[in-house]
Copies of this chain bind each other. A is one copy, B any other.
Amino acid sequence: MKDMNPVFKVLADRTRRHLLDRLHTRNGQTLGELCEGMEMTRQAVTQHLALLEQANLIAVQRQGREKLHYFNPVPIHAIYERWIRKFEQPRLNALHDLKNRLERK
């Protein structure tokens, strides 16, 4: 997937969105906790978390032998500002555009 912006790519996976949901419900969970109930190996979850960390969507902190994960809302807000908000004013003048297009000919 050709993409300079890692946030979209990361959000495109259901497992990763689920992990974000879990951290949103309770922040600071360990790797083991985040693996509970996941239908894949711990290593798979680790790899998803690594991508989330690369995209700056989570921050990680070692606490003894445990690894704590914290959700960071900033990139999602940036996505909203850059990509969502400008599309929220729907251009309902599609027919007007069509009319213009036909007249240009």
Residues facing B in A8-34 (CB within 8 A) are: 8-9, 11-15, 17, 20, 24, 26-28
- A67 at the A/B interface (Cβ < 8 Å)? no
- Distance in angstroms between the alpha carbons of A13 and B4 in the assembled complex: 9
Contacts of A42 in B (CB 8 A): none
Chain A: residues with Cβ within 8 Å of the partner, total of 42
Specify the chain B residue showing the minimal Cβ separation from A77: B88
Chain A residues close to B by CB (< 8 Å): 1-5, 8-9, 11-15, 17, 20, 24, 26-28, 61, 63, 68, 70-71, 73-74, 76-77, 79-80, 83-84, 86-91, 93-94, 97-98, 101
The 28 sampled A-B contact pairs (Cβ below 8 Å) are: A1-B1, A1-B12, A1-B13, A3-B13, A3-B14, A5-B14, A8-B11, A9-B12, A12-B12, A24-B91, A28-B97, A28-B98, A68-B98, A70-B94, A71-B91, A73-B87, A73-B88, A73-B89, A73-B91, A74-B90, A76-B83, A76-B87, A77-B84, A77-B87, A77-B88, A79-B84, A80-B80, A80-B84
